[in-house]
């Protein structure tokens, strides 16, 4: 695992060096950000090996872009690096993108490492299955690891068909022994695969998407190594460990959004087999926007979604029968001030998971963001139970260039 | 000179058969037809926002437009500055009376979001320009009334009152000064939902392209109520660059630069 990562890192450093030294000759477009993050934990950790109080972390994500053939060919390179004060597992490097894109009139080809997003809902992303989650980055799972791929998009009158060959697999990142937001005990370094090819299994995916007037529809299928592992408890001489097990799965997904004036109606549905019992999961709801609230230029959106997984309480996900209610305030001001807040409540167990995210710009290039996550009323049977002392307030200051 | 005066004297007789509404519509159609056939265009835009204290902030973007016959135009705007929104792109299919279709691309998440177009009256990028001020001006979007002829900044103009026919506009009406020579609006007064004067837009530094199409290189929007201003400077106008429907879809939105 580490060998693979090191090779990748080495390759990336060389690529970066190559691109930098050729910058003058090749007209490379260079942008990105550097950020400092401070996290404060009001409660002491459940496990004495986890750090307490606060944590400092720095991250850097440059982007180098070069195009030729009048923009029909381009090369994008986005490395990412984070240093973390307490958790060595969170100090990590990744190639988010290193991709050659070729564009023709009705098709596009991507070769390299890239990120792909599928889906429409806000509270979770069921159908989004191409990239592995970079879980050490943020509990919300929105950050993804780069995925090696050959992707062909056919853009036709009957819709867009995306075909993917995914020649290697990335393990999910988990916080280390010293880190917060982790299971008890922590997830072990040793991983297990159903496929004998392990992380070299070639996965395949396709997605058809089309717009029908006010409706945007996508249907997708994925065959390969599940990005979401099953967590298997194992007894070793050192005691109980939790090991990730990556099954071979087939997953069919449907995502639909209807945009009807100020109403956005959203549904995501998946059917997955190969990971224990075959199951279905659903996320669906609406976002309603009040434009120009209280005679201002601000918009306020109300979001409500229902999250369901028919494995019930056996589900690996905490969101088996949950309701998400939230709001999004966009000030539409010069500083692009925004606030997003919400709560996911478990209908059966009563666990509530609150989150708030706010951000604004200072000057031309500084973004200050605040995040808070709080858990309450958590039952011991809930998979979020190990996070019950991990309430957090996070401040991040990023400089974009 | 004498002939000129004679024509001027006869003008009221010639137009006497028309109501102000008919005359207004006629001018709107004439201006629209004069601007028809540009096919597609692209330009760079720099937006300078100034608040009442004089603080300035700048946005840069590129904009592409595809003319659609019989409907509103298609547009693709890609943001360059400020740096945190670099690569963010906005795709719109404007429609004459129906709600526009709009998509936003968020590069950090690689996510394309279809968004509600009810925000017509909302500010574009925190500026004094609303989405509807920058949307394509199709004739059936408004009802017209011819008010008078008048010169503005030494330019002879038709003065029309227009009222939006589409839903969710932030205005009750606008007064539009259309230059007789170039058939483009050079000044617009916008009246808010309470019918008070809200904003004034003045367009200047017009250039003619392809021997026909006039485009302003500067538009200034002054908000009389908040004392804020936004200036839009256009450069590198290009026409008939070979853009097609394929340049205006979700795939092109994701890779727009």
ipTM of the complex: 0.90
Q: Band the pLDDT of A40: cuts 50, 70, 90.
A: very high
Contact call for A299 and B119, based on CB within 8 A: yes
pLDDT band at A237 (very low <50, low <70, confident <90, very high): confident
pLDDT at B11: 55
What is the average pLDDT value for chain A, to the nearest integer?
91
- Chain B residues with CB under 8 Å of a chain A CB are 49, 51, 57-58, 81-87, 99, 101, 109-112, 114-119, 121-123, 126, 168, 170, 244, 246, 249-251, 255, 257
Chain B residues in contact with A29 by the CB 8 A cut-off are: 257
- Nearest CB among A116, A259, A332 relative to B116 is that of A259
Which class in CATH covers the domain with range A2-400? mainly beta
- B116 to A292: CB separation less than 8 angstroms, yes or no: no
- Residue of chain B with shortest Cα separation from A260: B116
Considering only CA atoms, give the Rg of chain A: 22
The answer to whether A332 and A298 are in contact (CB under 8 A) is yes
Task: Identify the band that residue A316 occupies on the pLDDT scale cut at 50, 70 and 90.
Answer: confident
Distance CA A102, CA A78 (A): 18
**B249:A155 CB<8 A:** yes
Residue A15 scores a pLDDT above 80: no
Contact between A288 and A260 under an 8 Å Cβ cutoff? The reply is no
Average pLDDT over residues A319-329: 95
Q: What is the pLDDT of residues A264-275, one digit of tens each?
A: 999 999 999 999
A-chain residues near B223 (CB < 8 A) = none
Given a cut of 60, whether residue A23 has pLDDT beyond it is: no
Cβ-based neighbours of A56, under 8 Å, separated by 6 or more: A36, A37, A38, A85
Above 60 in pLDDT, residue A9? Answer: no
- The model's confidence at residue A34, banded by pLDDT at 50, 70 and 90, is very high
* CB–CB contact A332 B246 (8 Å): no
Report the gap between the CA of A21 and the closest CA in chain B (Å).
23
Read off φ and ψ for residue A85, nearest 5 degrees. -60, -45
Band of the pLDDT at A348, cuts 50, 70, 90? confident
A331 Cα to chain B: minimum distance (Å) = 8
Helix (H, G, I), strand (E, B) or coil at B23: helix
**CB B119 to CB A289 under 8 A?**
yes
Question: What's the whole-number average pLDDT of chain B?
Answer: 90
- What is the average per-residue pLDDT within A246-258? 97
> What three-state secondary structure class fits A25?
helix
Q: Of A17-21, A346-350, A352-356, B168-172, where does mean pLDDT reach its minimum?
A: A17-21
Q: What is the mean pLDDT of residues A259-286?
A: 95
Per residue in B8-56, pLDDT tens? 555 555 555 789 999 999 999 999 999 999 999 999 999 999 999 999 9
Min Cα separation A297/chain B (Å)? 6
Segment A293-297 shows an average pLDDT of: 86
DSSP-derived 3-state class of residue A352: strand
Q: What residues of A are in contact with residue B118 (Cβ under 8 Å)?
A: 261-262, 289, 291
> pLDDT over 90 for what percent of chain A?
80
In the prediction, which pLDDT does A307 show? 97
Q: Which pair of structure tokens corresponds to residue A105?
A: 């009139």
A–B CB contacts, 8 A cutoff, strictly below: 97
* Domain ranges for chain B: 20-254
Query: What is the DSSP annotation of A76-126?
Result: EEEEEEEEESS-TTTSEEEEEEEEEEEE-SSEEEEEEEE-------SS--S
Mutate to test the interface with A, among B110, B113, B131 (most CBs of A within 10 A): B110
Pick the CATH number of B20-254 from 3.40.50.300, 1.20.810.10, 2.50.20.10, 2.60.120.1270: 2.50.20.10
For B126, which of A264, A299, A336 is closest by C-beta distance? A336
Q: Do A259 and B109 touch (CB under 8 A)?
A: no
What are the angstrom distances between the C-alpha of A211 and each of A218, A258, A381, B58, B152?
9, 10, 42, 35, 46
**Contacts B110 to A, Cβ<8 Å:** 115-117
Asked if residue A71 has pLDDT above 80, the reply is yes
Contact A65 B257 (CB under 8 A): yes
Residue A72 at interface with chain B, using a CB cutoff of 8 Å: no
Joined together, the tokens standing for residue A242 give 């939790």
Better-predicted residue by pLDDT, A385 or A13: A385
- Kindly indicate the confidence band of residue A4, based on its pLDDT and cuts at 50, 70 and 90: very low
Instruction: Provide the pLDDT for residue B168.
Output: 85
- Interior/surface letters B66-79, b for 16+ CB within 10 angstroms, e for the rest: bbbeeebbbbbbbb
- Residue A6: predicted pLDDT: 47
User: Within an 8 Å CB–CB cutoff, is residue A27 touching chain B?
Assistant: no
**Among candidate residues A5, A13, A90, the one with its CA nearest the CA of residue A51:** A90
pLDDT at site A295: 82
CB contact under 8 A, A365 and B82: yes
Residue B194: per-residue pLDDT? 93
Q: Which residues of chain B have pLDDT under 70?
A: 1-16
Say what the pLDDT of residue B8 is. 54
Interchain contact, A259 vs B168, CB within 8 Å:
no
Interval A363-372 mean pLDDT: 96
pLDDT digits (tens, 9 = 90+) for B158-183: 999 999 998 889 999 999 999 999 99
Report chain B residues whose CB lies below 8 A from the CB of A401. 83
CB contact under 8 A, A263 and B116: yes
Q: In chain A, positions 97-136, which contact chain B (CB-CB < 8 Å)?
A: 101, 103, 105-106, 108, 115-117, 120
Which chain A residues touch B116 with a CB distance below 8 Å?
A: 259, 261-264, 289
Mean pLDDT of A5-18: 50
Residue-wise pLDDT tens digits, A159-213: 999 999 999 999 999 999 999 999 988 899 899 999 999 999 999 999 999 999 9
pLDDT for A3: 38
Record: contact B255-A101, CB cut-off 8 A: yes
Contact B126 A400 (CB under 8 A): no
What pLDDT is attached to residue A2? 39
Q: Return the closest-CA partner of residue B152 out of B174, B120, B179, B130.
A: B179
């Amino acid at each position: 695992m580490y060998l693979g990562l090191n090779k990748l890192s080495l390759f990336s450093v060389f690529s970066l060096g190559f691109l930098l030294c050729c910058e003058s000759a090749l007209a490379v477009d260079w942008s990105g950000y550097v950020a400092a993050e401070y996290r404060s934990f009001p409660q002491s950790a459940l496990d004495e090996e986890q750090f307490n109080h606060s944590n400092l972390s720095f991250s850097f994500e440059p982007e180098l872009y070069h195009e030729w053939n009048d923009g029909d060919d381009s090369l994008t390179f986005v490395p990412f690096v984070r240093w973390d004060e307490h958790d060595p597992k969170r100090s990590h490097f990744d190639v988010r993108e290193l991709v050659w894109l070729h564009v023709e009139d009705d098709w596009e080809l991507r070769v390299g490492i890239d990120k792909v997003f599928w889906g429409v809902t806000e509270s979770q992303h069921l159908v989004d299955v191409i990239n592995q989650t970079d879980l050490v980055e943020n509990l919300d799972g929105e950050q993804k690891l780069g995925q090696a791929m050959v992707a062909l998009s056919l853009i036709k009158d009957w819709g867009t068909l995306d075909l993917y060959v995914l020649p290697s697999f990335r393990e999910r990142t988990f916080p280390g022994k010293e880190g917060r937001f982790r299971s008890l005990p922590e997830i072990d370094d040793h991983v297990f695969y159903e496929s004998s090819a392990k992380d070299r299994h070639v996965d395949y995916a396709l997605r058809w998407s089309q717009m029908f007037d006010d409706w945007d529809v996508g249907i997708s299928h994925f065959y390969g190594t599940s990005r979401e592992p099953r967590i298997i408890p194992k007894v070793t001489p050192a005691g109980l460990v939790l090991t990730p097990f990556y099954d071979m799965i087939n997953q069919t997904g449907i995502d639909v959004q209807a945009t009807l004036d100020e109403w956005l109606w959203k549904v995501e549905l998946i059917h997955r087999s190969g990971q224990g019992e075959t199951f279905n999961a659903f996320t669906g709801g609406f976002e309603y926007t009040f434009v120009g609230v209280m005679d201002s230029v601000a918009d306020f959106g109300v979001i409500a979604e229902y999250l369901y997984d028919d494995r019930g309480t056996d589900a690996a996900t905490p969101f088996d029968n949950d309701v998400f209610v939230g709001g999004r305030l966009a000030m539409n001001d010069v500083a692009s001030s925004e606030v997003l807040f919400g709560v996911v409540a478990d209908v059966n167990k009563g666990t509530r998971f609150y989150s708030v995210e706010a951000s604004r710009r200072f000057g031309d290039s500084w973004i200050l963001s605040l995040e808070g996550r709080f858990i309450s009323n958590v039952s011991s049977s809930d998979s979020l139970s190990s996070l019950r002392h991990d309430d957090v307030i996070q401040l991040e200051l990023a400089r974009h260039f | 000179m004498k002939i000129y005066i004679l024509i001027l004297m006869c003008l009221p007789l010639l137009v006497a058969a028309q109501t102000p509404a008919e005359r207004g519509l006629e001018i709107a159609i004439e201006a629209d037809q004069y601007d028809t056939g540009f096919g597609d265009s692209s330009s760079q835009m720099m937006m300078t926002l100034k608040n009442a204290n004089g603080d300035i902030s700048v946005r840069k973007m590129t904009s592409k437009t595809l003319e659609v016959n019989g409907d509103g135009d298609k547009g693709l705007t890609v943001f360059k500055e400020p740096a945190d929104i670099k690569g963010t792109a906005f795709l719109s299919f404007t429609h004459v009376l129906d709600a526009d279709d709009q998509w936003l691309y968020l590069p950090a998440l690689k996510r394309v979001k279809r968004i509600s177009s009810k925000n017509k009256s909302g500010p574009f990028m925190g500026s004094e320009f609303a989405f509807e001020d920058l949307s394509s001006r199709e004739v059936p979007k408004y009802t017209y009334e011819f008010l008078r002829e008048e010169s503005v900044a030494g330019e002879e103009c038709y003065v029309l009152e227009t009222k939006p026919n589409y839903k969710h506009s932030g205005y009750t009406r606008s007064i539009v000064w259309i230059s007789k020579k170039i058939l483009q609006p050079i000044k617009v007064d916008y009246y808010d939902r309470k019918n008070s004067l809200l904003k004034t837009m003045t367009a200047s530094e017009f250039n003619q392209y392809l021997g026909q199409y006039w485009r302003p290189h500067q538009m200034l929007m002054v908000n009389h109520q908040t004392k804020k201003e936004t200036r839009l400077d256009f450069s590198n106008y290009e026409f008939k660059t070979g853009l097609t429907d394929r340049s205006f879809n979700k795939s092109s939105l994701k890779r727009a630069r």
